Amino acid sequence: MQLLHAIAHALSVAGAMGWEILWPLILGFSLSGAVQAVVSHKQMSKLLPDDKPKTLALAAGLGAASSSCSYAAVALARSLFQKGANFTAAMAFEIASTNLVIELGVILAVLMGWRFTAAEFFGGPLMIVVLVLLFRRFLTPKLLAAAHKQAKKGLVGRMEGHAAMDDMAVGGNRSIWQKLKSSEGRTATSHFFVMDWASIWTDIVLGLLIAGALAAWVPESWWQTLFLSNHPVWSVIWGPLIGPIIAVLSFVCSVGNIPLAAVLWNGGISFGGVVSFIFADLIVLPIIRIYAKYYGWKMAGFLFATFYVAMAAAGYLVEGIFALLHLTPQSRNATVLHAGITFNYTTILNIIFLVIAAALVWRFLRTGGPMMLKMMNQKPQGEHEHGH
């Protein structure tokens, strides 16, 4: 009975967190789908020929307008590299695709507060800058050539079809608003909305279950010991180092790791540690295996090492800069244990956005979406253009 009670407690915490972030998820994916519907990726590889600051800024902007799914981002970055994009620019795009997207910021604000959202969008570019410096110092032409040769083999990872279909954006010389309100724009938005959900729902559910179990079962004293909470200086040093390691071992990607980040914050990890943990969705073990398929094991190891250093460095920089600006959060009351399903503003917003989601899903079903969805985990058969 005690075991069943413990499981029920963990599931109730996970369910409460899921209810709390439901409307932000729908809002984020709706906005992301609308952006992707009007931002074409067709010529992206030609827009990213080098690693100059202007090109890297463009790569980050294009990534921020893309899907938040880590696997889709990794697949699309490989596709860009195959087609001639600069490798460093492709990695900058990949980082932005998972760390600078709308839905991530909204969920961070709801669960943890606006300062974490600010840290995410401030730290993401810092991470890219650190990574670029590491690439310029340590990425050798020999390693890059071997990675390009491996990439040309086209070995399949995950969400290959999703990456290939990222050129469904509405074309023409119309304004953004005209594109969005057109029949093609509404259809494209609905397709991106459902495909993004399909690509990431397992990570969201897994993240909620892990966060619920840890919040319900792990004593607060254990977290405080792990994060050296009673030693303020050492805690700040240790946090950005242990944060990515926890992410690697948790297997959770993209927005699915935000509930777990809330648990870690409540448990005593440093502010910079939370930031580095959230950034580390691109070095979880399944993605390292995909890097090995795409670029070879040597490049996979190089990416793990450089990404880890860049994530930790971004955590330290955010910690220091936010402390100087007196923006570091002080209270550790992220929405985890105290979340509850009651009739309040969250319930009202969830009902409103569920209606919006139902409308988008209905349009998706009526416009050939299910056939496209079947292609998401399939290897693209050549280059295709998708229109609506």
The whole-number pLDDT of residue 67 equals 63
**In 43-54, which positions are buried (b, 16+ CB within 10 angstroms) versus exposed (e)?**
ebbeebeebeee
Does pLDDT of 342 surpass 80? Answer: no
Instruction: Please give the average per-residue pLDDT across 306-328, as a whole number.
Output: 96
Percent of the chain at pLDDT above 90? Answer: 37
Per-residue pLDDT reduced to its tens digit, 255-297: 778 888 888 998 899 999 999 999 998 998 888 988 998 999 9
Average pLDDT of the chain, as a whole number: 83
pLDDT score at 313: 97
Which pLDDT band, with edges at 50, 70 and 90, does 333 fall under? confident
Give the pLDDT band (50/70/90) at residue 103. Answer: confident
Is residue 41 pLDDT above 80, yes or no?
A: no
Helix (H, G, I), strand (E, B) or coil at 46: helix
Report CA torsion sign: 330, 18, 105, 358.
Answer: negative
**Model confidence pLDDT, tens digit, residues 156-214:** 655 555 555 555 666 667 776 777 778 888 888 888 888 878 777 777 788 778 877 88
Question: How far apart, in Å, are the Cα atoms of 118 and each of 42, 184, 267, 310, 329?
Answer: 31, 34, 21, 18, 11
As a whole number, mean pLDDT of residues 329-339 equals: 67
pLDDT band at 55 (very low <50, low <70, confident <90, very high): very high
DSSP 299-361: HHHHHHHHHHHHHHHHHHHHHHHHHHTT--------SSTT----SSHHHHHHHHHHHHHHHHH
- Calpha distance 18→14 (Å, rounded): 6
Is residue 382 predicted with pLDDT exceeding 50? no
> What is the rounded average pLDDT of the residues 366-372?
82
pLDDT in the model for residue 385: 40
**Where do the domains of the chain lie?**
9-374
